[in-house]
Structure 1
Amino acid sequence: MPVTVHNNVVSGPEERGIPAHLSYGQFLFDQLKNGGDNIALVNAETGESVSYRYILQNSVNLAVSLRKLGLKKGDVVGLSSENRFEFVVAALAVIYCGGVLSTLNITYTPGEIIHLLKITNPKFIFISPITSQNIYDCCQELSSPCKLIMLGEFEVVPDCIMYDNLIKDHFNVDDFILTDVDGVQDTVAVMCSSGTTGMPKGVELNHINFLTLSAHMKYYFDYVQKQKKNGIVTGLSLIPWFHAYGFITTFAVMAMNLKIVFLIRFDEQQYLETIQNYKINMTTIVPPLAVFLAKHPLVLKYDLTSLVEVWCGAAPLSKDIQKAVSERTGIDFIKQGYGLTEVTMACLVDLTSGEKVGSCGTPAPGMSVKVIDIENGQKLGPGQEGEIWIKSPLRMKGYMGDRAASDELLDSEGYLRTGDIGYYDTDGYFYIVDRLKELIKYKGFQVAPAELEALLLQHGGVADAGVVGLPDEAAGELPLAFVVAQPNSNVTEKDLVDFVASKVSPAKRLRGGVIFLKDIPKNASGKILRRELRKMLQKYKSKL
């Protein structure tokens, strides 16, 4: 993408145009109409598929029923479900009605769910059989009544409304009128921040945020397809739709009327078979998936060459893993992107064909990015590491119910602090180093866990790794690695300590040692849950 660097600020190309009505619901409604009888979604587990016309008809039917039940503009509606056809229909119906959609992570604990329900105060919550009991129990803790709408055929919990009953009466799509909205002022969705360091926050995003992101996605697709002979026809969606990354990318791709094959859960064999059998052209992944593609022996048994676009986000991906995936699979190049829920996800995107391995790209249209020295607050030039700040039309309205926390993120120029450490090169390409709060402080030196994790993954005996700081009176913190060994590997702690020591400066050595685990705890978007590793570390220390 075109980029300019002026006064240590890196800016992307000019902003893309969006519909004048400024209604995300109207935009999606129109795009679904354009899709007609083309296949929209395919469930890879069952082979069942639905068309754009089917989704449009059912979302209109549901919207009419929700209005009859009392849903009004501005009412919050929760949605707690795995990836399934009804998820998309329910989300669309709420948006058509001018409601505020609140997607709930199905892996959240009761404490986290209750915390979010008290913030959002939903009028209705869509639940699936696998989430129903948890949500039902949590709702008993609320002071305000909340009606549950059950997806699927069976009433798993009492006193719920059945989704199938709400969509059975067909309403003429051409007679349906969407609720009028103010694209700037009205919230369209509350998406949860990842919650890697504490309780998740509810990020309020408006209609313009989503419209602009869809315009950006269209721009990215058009840009990369001009560079290649093979177009994008079929995409694979594995990242959960309740997560902002999965939700936003899936609806943006649907708005382009492409076919989306989706998976409900990650199964190694099914994932690879789906790519091969459906000849998937494009998919979004997270770093653990990239590591799987780079290192797992099963991958070599499948033909993945139909993939022409693979985008990775949610956490830094090392250039070594990028290269390894291409070498093993024949996939041209994994592109990295960078974003956060507070800026409607995609802020930096790499649209090259591998010329900048390790980079997450340049600023998206309409965005300006600066790197700030964490000690003195000064803007930094190329090659200097600091905290990344972003100014963008995609910036959130704020955290629901927490104005103070929202204001703390902004500076006087309207830039939003990301909490991520990185730098840019002389061409304006950015590289993410790690989270500011996760940097290990060894004798005053800053050590990035992500750098050591990427290094450990280069070792043939390592399947996965997570690095944290071990508290130490003399040094402050000592880098310590949690490691998942490759099957049948005999790798030892000394092997890995020596391996890292041979490749890094003294401050970055694994002076805290190595602890072997069966798996590294991660959230739904693939970010390492370092707080869980620190809890494990405390238990480990108490046994010594």
Structure 2
Amino acid sequence: MAARIHNNIVYGPEERGIPAHLSYGQLMYDGLKKGGDKVAQVCAETGQSTTFREILQKSVNLATALQQLGLKKGDVVALSSENRFEFTVASLAVMFSGGVLSTLNITYSPGEITHLLNIVKPKYIFTSPISAQNVQECSEGLSFVEKIILFGDYEVVPAIMYNELLKVHVEIDDFTLVDVNGAEDTMAIMCSSGTTGLPKGVELTHVNFLLLTEHLRYYLETSMAQRQHNIQSFLAIIPWFHAYGFITSLGVLAINLKVVFMVRFEPDLFLETIQNHKVNMATIVPPLAVFLAKHPLVEKYDLTSLNEVWCGAAPLSTEIQKAISKRIGIGHVRQGYGLTEVTMACCVDLSAAGQPGSCGAPAPGMQIKVIDIENGQRLPARREGELWIKSPLRMKGYRGDRAAGDALFDPQGFVRTGDIGYYDENGYFYIVDRLKELIKYNGFQVAPAELESLLIQHPLVAECGVVGAPHEAAGELPTAFVVPQPGATPSEQELVDFIAEKVSPAKRLRGGVIFVEEIPKNPSGKILRRELKKFLLTKLKSKL
């Protein structure tokens, strides 16, 4: 993917064309119709499958039923569910009806769910049995919520049953999608990750989704031509309520790849699914990458069908990339970088040989600049600063908080990312860490992700997370939380010395090492450092 650098701004290749109708629902309708009787989705847990035509038929039926129920263009419909067949049908039905889909993270607390419901104000809420009780309790007393629609066969809360709505039958060719203004109309409200406070609702338009899907097509075509292989099946393990999982899985369906999805990560099932379904492509997050690189279970399975592994959501170390490539015989793990506010993928490493440690060059139509966090100047190659991105993929804004959304844009239309990184002479980007998560030790900035990438190289370390421990004189002391490998018992001093040999004095683990059973992460695989800090503060207070 060619990049051009001019006046310290890195430009991606020319933007891709999209359909003139500017309706993502229409793109999905056409793609599903083209897929016909080919298998479109397979549930890894049950082995059940469905075809493109069956998805389209159910989506048309449900869209009609929703409109009969009272759904109008612009109405918001929330969806709280794990990955399952109904998730896709409900999403498409809302799109076909001109509605606005808002996905809710099923791991959110009641407070977070109530917060989001009050932002997006859904007219209807789809829910699965596992989140139904939470949704029902959080929506009580909210006058704007008219109906809850329940997946499954049993009425675990008072609701309209999804299966009853599907009984409305409409011929596919007789159905007409509600017309939309794709450049202006919001198609989905995706939750920001919420790793640094209460989540926000990111408004994305039909054009945002159309462009992203065209970019995905471009990435796959480029990669297949490079590596001379074919991609026919895709493993979906990232939750669909998260923008990363939702946008990617819809995009590959639109271009007629078979999606094998998992409800949750289970080590044996994950590996067995790749082996038995001959999966060609998987999108993963760093904890899964570490599993593929280090877990002994991986050796027991045949993963040779995999020819594309893409990793996003957080930086992945060069060492883990190389370890996966060597272990499963894949050319290289492609890293990508994105954020919900710019419809996810901003960079993908599409180089033929791979750029270890890089998340790639800008996507088509992207401009990226790196800004000095002290003086606001644009920085040249190999100077670390905050990334700002300009693209047609930028969000419409934050739902219910226009001021917060506008504050992210500069006068030229660049979006502030909050991520620290740099680019090289060829326009390839390297992400260092989140601006808000940098540790300040005696005036030096220490990136937790850098220390984590070094710690994970230790053979006795399975997982780790690094945060700053408050210190009166120094500000913060780099402190590591470590999950040892099964049966291993590394000492604190051993790991402190291991890091000290590899870093400058400011980056040493002066706060020590705390051994834990697990590292808290959100569903997209990002380390919840705020949870580690809470634990750390509790531990420090207990010593006083």
Task: Tell me, in whole angstroms, the C-alpha distance in 2 between the residues paired with 1:456 and 1:229.
Answer: 36
User: Could you tell me which residue of structure 2 aligns to residue 372 of structure 1?
Assistant: 371
Assess if the C-alpha contact under 8 Å between 1:3 and 1:363 holds in 2. Answer: yes
AA aligned to 2:186 is T
Assess if the C-alpha contact under 8 Å between 1:114 and 1:141 holds in 2. Answer: no
User: Could you tell me which residue of structure 2 aligns to residue 519 of structure 1?
Assistant: 518
Assess if the C-alpha contact under 8 Å between 1:471 and 1:478 holds in 2. Answer: yes
Tell me, what secondary structure is at the counterpart of 2:235?
strand
User: Could you tell me which residue of structure 2 aligns to residue 128 of structure 1?
Assistant: 128
AA aligned to 1:485 is P
User: Could you tell me which residue of structure 1 aligns to residue 62 of structure 2?
Assistant: 62
String of CA shifts for 1:312-370, please: whole Å, max 9, x gaps: 00000000100011112222211000000000000001012443110000000000000
User: Could you tell me which residue of structure 1 aligns to residue 456 of structure 2?
Assistant: 457
Describe how 1:91-106 pairs up with structure 2 within 5 A. Answer: 91-106=91-106
Tell me, what secondary structure is at the counterpart of 2:187?
strand
Tell me, what secondary structure is at the counterpart of 1:130?
helix
Task: Tell me, in whole angstroms, the C-alpha distance in 2 between the residues paired with 1:354 and 1:202.
Answer: 38
Task: Tell me, in whole angstroms, the C-alpha distance in 2 between the residues paired with 1:172 and 1:521.
Answer: 47
* Identity, % of aligned positions: 67
Task: Tell me, in whole angstroms, the C-alpha distance in 2 between the residues paired with 1:504 and 1:538.
Answer: 26
String of CA shifts for 1:294-314, please: whole Å, max 9, x gaps: 111101111111111110000
Assess if the C-alpha contact under 8 Å between 2:332 and 2:354 holds in 1. Answer: no
Asked if residue 356 in structure 1 is aligned to residue 355 in structure 2, the reply is yes
Assess if the C-alpha contact under 8 Å between 1:304 and 1:331 holds in 2. Answer: no
User: Could you tell me which residue of structure 1 aligns to residue 42 of structure 2?
Assistant: 42
User: Could you tell me which residue of structure 1 aligns to residue 486 of structure 2?
Assistant: 487
Assess if the C-alpha contact under 8 Å between 1:80 and 1:103 holds in 2. Answer: yes
String of CA shifts for 1:374-411, please: whole Å, max 9, x gaps: 00000000000000000000000000000110011010
Describe how 1:167-246 pairs up with structure 2 within 5 A. Answer: 167-246=166-245
Asked if residue 112 in structure 1 is aligned to residue 124 in structure 2, the reply is no
AA aligned to 2:136 is Y
Assess if the C-alpha contact under 8 Å between 2:418 and 2:435 holds in 1. Answer: yes
User: Could you tell me which residue of structure 2 aligns to residue 338 of structure 1?
Assistant: 337
AA aligned to 1:39 is V
User: Could you tell me which residue of structure 2 aligns to residue 53 of structure 1?
Assistant: 53
User: Could you tell me which residue of structure 1 aligns to residue 324 of structure 2?
Assistant: 325
String of CA shifts for 1:454-507, please: whole Å, max 9, x gaps: 000000110000000011111111000000011111201000001000110000
User: Could you tell me which residue of structure 1 aligns to residue 502 of structure 2?
Assistant: 503
User: Could you tell me which residue of structure 2 aligns to residue 251 of structure 1?
Assistant: 250
Task: Tell me, in whole angstroms, the C-alpha distance in 1 between the residues paired with 2:79 and 2:293.
Answer: 34
Task: Tell me, in whole angstroms, the C-alpha distance in 2 between the residues paired with 1:118 and 1:148.
Answer: 16
Task: Tell me, in whole angstroms, the C-alpha distance in 1 between the residues paired with 2:522 and 2:332.
Answer: 25
AA aligned to 1:84 is R
User: Could you tell me which residue of structure 2 aligns to residue 389 of structure 1?
Assistant: 388
Tell me, what secondary structure is at the counterpart of 1:131?
helix
- Superposition deviation, residue 229 in structure 1: 2.5
Task: Tell me, in whole angstroms, the C-alpha distance in 1 between the residues paired with 2:139 and 2:8.
Answer: 50
Task: Tell me, in whole angstroms, the C-alpha distance in 2 between the residues paired with 1:447 and 1:398.
Answer: 31
Task: Tell me, in whole angstroms, the C-alpha distance in 1 between the residues paired with 2:348 and 2:215.
Answer: 10
Asked if residue 3 in structure 1 is aligned to residue 14 in structure 2, the reply is no
Asked if residue 150 in structure 1 is aligned to residue 150 in structure 2, the reply is yes
Task: Tell me, in whole angstroms, the C-alpha distance in 2 between the residues paired with 1:542 and 1:203.
Answer: 37
| Distance change in 2, residues 1:13/1:521 (3 Å) | same
- Superposition deviation, residue 143 in structure 1: 3.7
Task: Tell me, in whole angstroms, the C-alpha distance in 2 between the residues paired with 1:74 and 1:461.
Answer: 53
AA aligned to 1:387 is E
Tell me, what secondary structure is at the counterpart of 1:482?
strand
Assess if the C-alpha contact under 8 Å between 2:236 and 2:245 holds in 1. Answer: yes
User: Could you tell me which residue of structure 2 aligns to residue 438 of structure 1?
Assistant: 437
- Superposition deviation, residue 141 in structure 1: 4.2
- Superposition deviation, residue 148 in structure 1: 0.3
Tell me, what secondary structure is at the counterpart of 1:155?
coil
Assess if the C-alpha contact under 8 Å between 2:125 and 2:145 holds in 1. Answer: no
Assess if the C-alpha contact under 8 Å between 1:333 and 1:353 holds in 2. Answer: no
Tell me, what secondary structure is at the counterpart of 2:130?
coil
Describe how 1:388-407 pairs up with structure 2 within 5 A. Answer: 388-407=387-406
Assess if the C-alpha contact under 8 Å between 1:409 and 1:417 holds in 2. Answer: yes
Over aligned residue pairs, what C-alpha RMSD do you find? 0.7
Tell me, what secondary structure is at the counterpart of 1:417?
strand
- Superposition deviation, residue 100 in structure 1: 0.2
Task: Tell me, in whole angstroms, the C-alpha distance in 1 between the residues paired with 2:25 and 2:326.
Answer: 42
Assess if the C-alpha contact under 8 Å between 1:387 and 1:421 holds in 2. Answer: yes
String of CA shifts for 1:136-191, please: whole Å, max 9, x gaps: 00011424343100111111102x10100111132011010110100111000000
Task: Tell me, in whole angstroms, the C-alpha distance in 2 between the residues paired with 1:144 and 1:268.
Answer: 41
User: Could you tell me which residue of structure 1 aligns to residue 277 of structure 2?
Assistant: 278
Mark the runs of 5 or more structure 1 residues left unpaired by the alignment: none
User: Could you tell me which residue of structure 1 aligns to residue 423 of structure 2?
Assistant: 424
User: Could you tell me which residue of structure 1 aligns to residue 265 of structure 2?
Assistant: 266
Assess if the C-alpha contact under 8 Å between 2:432 and 2:449 holds in 1. Answer: yes
AA aligned to 2:77 is V
Tell me, what secondary structure is at the counterpart of 2:74?
coil
User: Could you tell me which residue of structure 2 aligns to residue 474 of structure 1?
Assistant: 473
Assess if the C-alpha contact under 8 Å between 1:121 and 1:144 holds in 2. Answer: yes
Task: Tell me, in whole angstroms, the C-alpha distance in 2 between the residues paired with 1:495 and 1:141.
Answer: 56
Task: Tell me, in whole angstroms, the C-alpha distance in 2 between the residues paired with 1:485 and 1:340.
Answer: 31
AA aligned to 2:124 is F
User: Could you tell me which residue of structure 2 aligns to residue 535 of structure 1?
Assistant: 534
AA aligned to 1:193 is S
Task: Tell me, in whole angstroms, the C-alpha distance in 2 between the residues paired with 1:90 and 1:420.
Answer: 34
Count of matched residue positions in the alignment of Structure 1 and Structure 2 = 543
Q: TM-score, normalised by structure 2?
A: 0.99
Tell me, what secondary structure is at the counterpart of 1:32?
helix
Tell me, what secondary structure is at the counterpart of 1:227?
helix
Task: Tell me, in whole angstroms, the C-alpha distance in 2 between the residues paired with 1:115 and 1:13.
Answer: 39
Task: Tell me, in whole angstroms, the C-alpha distance in 2 between the residues paired with 1:284 and 1:469.
Answer: 30
String of CA shifts for 1:85-105, please: whole Å, max 9, x gaps: 000000000000000000000
Task: Tell me, in whole angstroms, the C-alpha distance in 2 between the residues paired with 1:53 and 1:255.
Answer: 12
Task: Tell me, in whole angstroms, the C-alpha distance in 1 between the residues paired with 2:92 and 2:421.
Answer: 37
- Superposition deviation, residue 543 in structure 1: 2.1
Assess if the C-alpha contact under 8 Å between 2:496 and 2:513 holds in 1. Answer: yes
Task: Tell me, in whole angstroms, the C-alpha distance in 1 between the residues paired with 2:28 and 2:229.
Answer: 26
Q: TM-score, normalised by structure 1?
A: 0.99
User: Could you tell me which residue of structure 2 aligns to residue 72 of structure 1?
Assistant: 72
AA aligned to 1:134 is N
Task: Tell me, in whole angstroms, the C-alpha distance in 1 between the residues paired with 2:337 and 2:145.
Answer: 39
AA aligned to 1:535 is K
Assess if the C-alpha contact under 8 Å between 2:71 and 2:99 holds in 1. Answer: yes
AA aligned to 1:172 is E
User: Could you tell me which residue of structure 2 aligns to residue 13 of structure 1?
Assistant: 13
Task: Tell me, in whole angstroms, the C-alpha distance in 1 between the residues paired with 2:258 and 2:398.
Answer: 34
AA aligned to 2:179 is D
| Distance change in 2, residues 1:178/1:42 (3 Å) | same
Tell me, what secondary structure is at the counterpart of 1:526?
coil
